[in-house]
Amino acid sequence: MSRSLTWDLTPVTPSDGFKEEFEQMEKMLQRLDTFEFHQAPLLRCTLVGDGLALCSELDSYITCVDSPSVEWPLQKLHDYKKRFMKAKDAFHCYLHEASIDVFDKILLDVTDASLSELFYFWRNIPPLEVVADLLPLRQRYAAATQRLKVHIEEREEPLSLSEAIQLRSHADPVIRRAGFDGLEEACRLQQDEFEELYREIASIRFQQLAPTPEGLLHVAATANHLQVEDLHEMWATVRQERQSLHSAMQQLTQATSWNSYDVWHQKSTERFSWETACRLIIDSFASSSIEMALFATSCFEKQWIQVIPDQEHGVSFCASFPTSKASRILIAYDESLVSLLALAHELGHAYHNHVLHGAPSLLRSYPMSIAETASTFAEMLVLDHLDQIGDAALQEDVRNQRIRRSMMNVLFLDVRYLFEQQLYEAHQKQQDIDFSLLMANTYDEVFGGLQLHHPRSAWIWTPHYYVTDLPFYNFPYTFGYLLALGIQSIDSKSVTESVLPAILRDGGTLMMERLVRRHLDCSLTELYQHALQKVRSEFHLNRS
């Protein structure tokens, strides 16, 4: 399989300036206004779903091209998305409040079982305003981070934010420390600007979503198809594993404590050429799901992947084009184990998009709580495969990766969750608070004082605090990680072929408790236990 340095965007390229697409969306919205809610409900769903899919298509194209020389009509695209979201929420509200007779009549016209489940879901769950109008603040955040320059003695030119963050994995400990100190100092100099920005975002969320931190958490949980009680139980369960993860980190670093800027340094010397990476991923996927393996093969063959050197661009992503039924992946690949797993991760996202291509357009969206499941599952398949075929050194590298991934999803995300929770509480009470000190104290709470040199500025360079529609972005990643572990812990080849795609397809129409009971035959409580038992067993079975 040849290495393609440039993806093929021709099939997904929209009209110049999105003129034709905007005209199409305008006609769709006008048509929505021509009939009442009880008339043509399936057509209404199609128009709303197609409109949102087209918005996503255009947004993905902007993400892929990302040219500073092009003036994208971001505000206009944002406005169209809001109008389609309002149309969706209005129909949701109508179904929720309709009489039983009216609701039953609507269901008579529905032949797709998944769409019926969506209607039942909306019937039982009141609509929520979950999209705060944050576009101007997102743009301010992007501009502020672009102005942030990191100076270190080891480099003549100042580093960008992403370049400085990449130094966490540098082989030289002196450069890792210099990058850490330089980033902390650069953020300190701009701290007032980011504090003001964060407070404005918090104010808008309180005004537009919910008036209290508890209300914001309820909005975020419901949008992710979870009960608040499910979240409290999840965090209570994973926090019981803090000590075991601390012990695993001590083994990994061979020390009783460790520096935060050394955590992401990879000692592995194993290299994977692009051709080897493609073959390994296909073989890894095939060991569990022939469908996933065939899909990955098609991604490589169709030029859906653009490969760039790691030092050129530190961010990998998967962009979904739901109207074109395609995806595009940008991967910063340097032949390391980390970039091999990043490639598998993005292919997992693309597979999720692929599974949904046959569904009605309104059902192709899904909550963040399930967005990381296929991608995390794909990483696990590669780690398992490498564990089986590798020598002792590679098996040790695999174990270290498992520890880092568990630490990220269980410990680091808990830090971010607690930090955000306490900031909202302080903001509501109009308390003055030192953001960086709170970040450091939260690290101490979660890591028990074992991690040294906390990244006090992490609240500045973690974009999800600023650019997500919902508050409390952290827990969906942890939940998705536990769901992927749970699937794998009860998995066999025959199960994966049917269960994983089914979970991905139903994730947009069911509460997570019902989803897990339907496809994994267990409760969320049991899922959490299955997942964490697998974490414990992996550390034990691979311990040297």
Per the model's pLDDT, the better-predicted residue between 454 and 69 turns out to be 454
Contact 504, 291 (CB under 8 A): no
For residue 169, CA distances in Å to 62, 264, 417, 452, 456 come to 29, 5, 24, 17, 18
- Percent of the chain at pLDDT above 70? 95
Domain boundaries, the chain: 10-124, 212-268+397-544
CA distance 249 to 168: 16
CA distance 399 to 165: 24
Per the model's pLDDT, the better-predicted residue between 484 and 264 turns out to be 484
Residue 282, amino acid: I
Position 345 scores a pLDDT of: 96
* pLDDT tier at 129, thresholds 50, 70, 90: low
- Distinct helix (H) and strand (E) counts, the chain: 26, 5
CA distance 89 to 106: 17
pLDDT for 397 beyond 50: yes
* pLDDT tier at 254, thresholds 50, 70, 90: confident
> Tokens standing for 387?
């564990």
Nearest Cα residue to 240 out of 529, 530, 537: 529
* pLDDT tier at 162, thresholds 50, 70, 90: confident
- Percent of the chain at pLDDT above 90? 67
**Sequence-ordered list of residues with C-beta below 8 angstroms from that of 323, at least 6 positions apart, any chain:** 50, 53, 54, 56, 57
- Give the tens place of pLDDT for each residue, 266-277: 777 789 999 999
Contact 477, 413 (CB under 8 A): yes
Instruction: Count Cα neighbours of 483 within 13 Å in the Cβ-side half-sphere.
Output: 27
- Mean pLDDT in the chain? 90
Q: Where are the alpha helices (DSSP H) in 36-112?
A: 41-65, 74-97, 100-108
Q: How many CB atoms lie within 10 A of CB 83?
A: 18
Assessment of whether the complete model's pTM goes beyond 0.85: yes
What's the mean pLDDT in 69-89? Answer: 90
To the nearest 10 degrees (0 to 180), the angle between helices 74-97 and 135-147 is 140
Position 311 scores a pLDDT of: 54
Q: Any idea what DSSP says for residue 330?
A: E
pLDDT for 495 beyond 70: no
Instruction: Count Cα neighbours of 54 within 13 Å in the Cβ-side half-sphere.
Output: 25
- Give the tens place of pLDDT for each residue, 439-490: 999 999 999 999 999 999 999 999 989 988 889 988 999 999 999 999 988 7
**Sequence-ordered list of residues with C-beta below 8 angstroms from that of 460, at least 6 positions apart, any chain:** 187, 190, 191, 194
What's the mean pLDDT in 314-324? Answer: 88
Position 491 scores a pLDDT of: 59
> Tokens standing for 524?
């969320």
pLDDT for 493 beyond 50: no
Position 269 scores a pLDDT of: 79
* pLDDT tier at 79, thresholds 50, 70, 90: very high
DSSP labels, 340-405: HHHHHHHHHHHHHHHHHTTS-GGGS---HHHHTHHHHHHHHHHHHHHHHHS-HHHHHHHHHHHHHH
* pLDDT tier at 130, thresholds 50, 70, 90: low
